[in-house]
Structure 1
Amino acid sequence: MRALLVTLPNSVTHVPLCCHEETGMTIDPIQPMSALYRLFAGRTDASRSVEGNAGTMGLGEKLWWAHKFFVGAVEHAEPGKGIEEHFAAQDLSFGRPAGFVPVATARLSSAGDILTSEHLRPDTTAHIWDEVGDFLFGADLAVANLETPVAPSRPVGAPPKSILSAPPLNSSREVLEIFAGGDRFGFFSTANNHALDQGPDGVRETLDVLDEMGVGHVGTARTYAERDAIPVVDVEGVRVAFVSYTFSVNGRQVPAGEEHLVNYLRLNMPDVDLSMIERHVQIARDDLRADVVVACLHWSLEFESYPVRTVITNAHRIAELGVDVILGNHPHVVQPIERHSYVDGSGVERDALIVYAHGDLASYLDAVPNSKVGNLVRFSLHKGTVAGRETTVIADVSCLPILRRARFDRDGTCTDFRIHDLSAFLRRHEQQGDLDSADLAEVRRLADLTSSLLP
């Protein structure tokens, strides 16, 4: 999510376009859309190879973003690249190699972006986990992306009702406790485009809160030493290292001399310098004796159902640096999953699991219908030996598509916020017949879209 400053020809000037968490916009989007259609020719239903970085966007790319937000999310891949066919042919049946002797097994679950919203409160979320909690928290460790700073010394800031303003995001500890600690999420990535919304002090406060709650984190840091102290979590005898990076900081300046604050790499660009990732993987493998490296990446393009070719290429490059699992976020919609097979430098065949985008876990982007659904992922890590050689392999990959729904009172105040099992929700309401025909048709459309993207 971001604010975009757009100068519109023959129209209002300097209109910030920002993702918001409610309907009820206060300006008519027809004028910017007219400018969009005057500017662009050709297909608008397929991905375009752009960076998507709010800090570097020109006018054309800003208008393309506005099209995706106001007119409709993009459900077709970049043309002529074979991307849809590539993902349709994916086989995610990771398995143990012949002769594998198991020693330990860890089960991990992963989810998407957690974004602040005035709808997310302790009194509205009493039943938020009823349908998906077993899938997520029945694993040995649950991981998600915390996309909202938690800086207690500063006012809470949520995406605005109006698109005329875009206050920096900030949440509270009481909201964070809906998600973190105890038997809920035990680890967060914090490198994302909102990491600097509350400035350097906001980064430090967020990490202090997570430390106080006993929740692991990676991607932002208070010092250079902390940035390079790669966290390794012992999960049922499997040593799992986590690294995290973001393609954007929404045009905010990382203070000179404090580059440790957020791991900022332009991951959506071709030929991006991946030396930081390579160094961190080496620290995890060689110095900390990690069995597995998981990379949480904030990347790809918002409101698009497929990654562009540049992102796919960079995913493969990152995997081949020694990353076993990539957990992607940022697009606010579901993107596919891939098994990337390659031969490493020592001649060993390896498989990497790449989740390009989970979609949001908790948000309320009601203006973008495709953002109402997300994906939860669960997988096992089996540590053992093959012919006396130690190895850890991925297995048992499964997905649970989700649907977020909120209920409101007559004043428009949220009274209940839930994350539903999408398939179970659709079956239940088809049987009960208690949704109006348009609502039911939309849920069916979202279920069909999600099933076309996932195994």
Structure 2
Amino acid sequence: MTTTTSTSTSTTTTTTTTTTTTTQPPLRTATLLFTGDLIPHSPVVAAAERMAVEAGGVRSHDFRPLFADVADRIAAADLAVCHLEAPLTDDPSAISGYPRFNGPSGLADDLVAIGYDACSTASNHALDKGWMGVLATLAILEAADLPQSGMASSEEAAAEPLLLDAAGITVGFVSATFGTNGLPRPEATPWIVVDLEVDSLRASARRAREAGAEFVVLGLHWGAEYRTSPTALQREQAATLLADPDIDLIVGHHAHVVQPIGRVGEEFVVFGLGNFLTNQSASCCAVGTQDGAIVEVELQEMIGAGGGSTVVARHVIVTPTRVDRSDDHRVVDVAAAIEASVDADVAPDADLVGSWYRTAERILAEELPAGLLSVRMGAD
């Protein structure tokens, strides 16, 4: 802004000019990170037990070494969200694997230690240990200071939106599941696990907006197991939900194999993240069940013509992962491992090469316009 003031006498004239510059704050950016199914199968828990023994036996389980290859990437995100597909317990004698899971409580602490900021908990295994299992899981996550969406201890808590901070951007997160493996929700407490019901999810997104969310993410447990392409119902639900102005992104899981990343209008839908840490493999389930995708969504603040601020997802970057069942179920950064082999003039592991190509092919199957989606080919 510039102002000019003039004063005069019979002999002199003086002009003073003052310039004021208004500096706009920089537009905000943030990176959100999501990972797929994390299931404490018995062999995975056994690996964590061995890691604890090797570390001196102070703890009963230590999952951190299983994530060592990808922990830095998780910690670097402004907001990292896991998908915990099992209840947790403080009782060592109550730990159980397939078909009704109950993981050790130390897993929650280890997820925080490697950089996760929150988890989705609505899944078909959420009620594996019933109402008491839900309450135990919520208490364990709260003690670990790991916020969650998908389970609730009261009707009021079920209606309260989860708001998370991502580098100064307020993100609303809602987790829901298609079902609970036929295990009924108690009639008196149907809200203990969030149901994937379109109108209800839209209402939850609206509440998140009203509470201050600038960007709203749905974490949906949906689709068909071992199917690499989205079902017709997934596409229908994605189209309806992302047409709602209160919903900005869908991140999906449950298929246990990687599915494509697509777009509905201007919004991304990650149909399926695959498995992040499980004991599944082609010998029991399907080719690709050791594969997963770390998905990073880059957010950008935009200023409209009227001066209003909105936050949009501008780019998605995928890091392919693979569970190495021969090495204590460690989660491997596939592209980084291949690059390290090439740099050392060693032939890359054939399973890792196959995993990378399989994941890239599935992720890119929707053929989005250039510049919106990329798959990492190396460590960076």
Q: TM-score range by the shorter chain?
A: 0.7 to 0.9
- Describe how 1:147-166 pairs up with structure 2 within 5 A: 147-153=85-91, 155-159=94-98, 166=99
CA offset digits 1:54-88 (Å, max 9, x no partner)? xxxxxxxxxxxxxxxxxxxxxxxxxxxxxxxxxxx
Mapping 1:117-128, distance limit 5 Å:
117=41, 118-120=43-45, 121=48, 123-124=50-51, 125=63, 127-128=65-66
What do you get for the CA RMSD once the two structures are aligned?
Answer: 2.1
Matched with 2:330 is 418
Cross-structure match for 1:432: 346
Q: TM-score, normalised by structure 1?
A: 0.66
Alignment-mate amino acid for residue 397 of structure 1: V
Q: Is the 8 A contact 1:101 1:384 kept in 2?
A: no
Decide whether the 8 Å contact of 2:71 with 2:114 is kept in 1: no
Secondary structure of residue in 2 paired with 1:255: coil
- Give per-residue Cα distances to partners, 1:219-243, cap 9 Å, x unaligned: 1100110000111112221110111
- Does 1:107 pair with 2:25? no
| One-letter identity of the residue aligned with 2:321 | I
The 3 A distance-change label for structure 1 pair 142 and 202 is: same
Where do 5+ consecutive residues of structure 2 fail to align?
1-23, 52-62, 365-380
Q: Who is 2:212 aligned against?
A: 289
Displacement of 1:290 in angstroms is 0.9
Match for 1:379: what amino acid? V
Q: Deviations over 1:120-163 (max 9, x none)?
A: 4154455333332222221011101100100224610112xxxx
Q: What percentage of aligned pairs have identical amino acids?
A: 26
- Quote the Cα distance in structure 1 between the aligned partners of 2:341 and 2:233: 40
The CA deviation string for residues 90-111 of structure 1, in whole angstroms up to 9 with x for no partner, is xxxxxxxxxx985322221110
Which secondary structure does the structure 2 equivalent of 1:416 belong to? Answer: coil
Query: Aligned ranges for residues 12-411 of structure 1 at < 5 Å?
Result: 102-117=26-41, 118-120=43-45, 121=48, 123-124=50-51, 125=63, 127-153=65-91, 155-159=94-98, 166=99, 168-178=100-110, 180-265=111-196, 273-286=197-210, 288-321=211-244, 322-341=246-265, 351-366=266-281, 367=283, 368-387=286-305, 388-407=307-326
Change in 2 beyond 3 A, CA 1:257/1:155: same
Matches within 5 A, 1:442-453: 442-453=351-362
Cα shift readout 1:21-44 (whole Å, capped 9, x = no counterpart): xxxxxxxxxxxxxxxxxxxxxxxx
**Helix, strand or coil for the counterpart of 1:334?**
coil
Contact 1:101 1:386 in 2 (8 A): no
Q: Which amino acid aligns with 1:246?
A: T
Matches of 1:302 and 1:434, distance apart in 2: 30
Is the Cα–Cα contact under 8 Å of residues 102 and 384 in structure 1 kept in the other structure? no
Distance 1:157-1:141 versus aligned 2 partners, 3 A rule: same
Q: 1:449, 1:147 → 2: CA distance?
A: 24
Which whole-Å CA distance do the structure 1 matches of 2:167 and 2:258 have between them? 30
* 3-state SS in 1 of match to 2:203: helix
Structure 1 SS opposite 2:278: coil
Out of 312-321 and 417-426, give the one that drifted further: 417-426
Aligned 8 A contact 1:231 1:242 in 2: yes
Q: Kindly state the Cα deviation for residue 447 of structure 1 after the two structures are TM-superposed.
A: 2.4
Residues 355 and 340 of structure 1: CA distance in aligned 2, closer, same or farther (over 3 Å): same
State the 1:337 CA deviation. Answer: 0.5
- Aligned AA for 1:148? A
CA contact (8 A) 1:142 1:187 kept: yes
Which region of structure 1 is more displaced relative to structure 2, 208-217 or 126-135?
A: 126-135
- Relative distance call for 1:130 and 1:103 in structure 2 (3 A) is same
- The one of the two structures with greater contact order (alpha-carbon pairs below 8 A, sep at least 6) is 1
Q: What per-residue deviation string (whole Å, max 9, x for no partner) do you get for residues 301-359 of structure 1?
A: 11111102221121111112221111100000000101221xxxxxxxxx212111100
Matched residues in 2 for 1:331 and 1:434: separation?
28
CA distance in structure 2 between the partners assigned to 1:398 and 1:324 by the alignment? 17
Structure showing greater radius of gyration is 2
Query: Which residue of structure 1 lines up, in the alignment, with residue 4 of structure 2?
Result: none
Name the stretch that deviates more: 230-239 or 203-212: 230-239
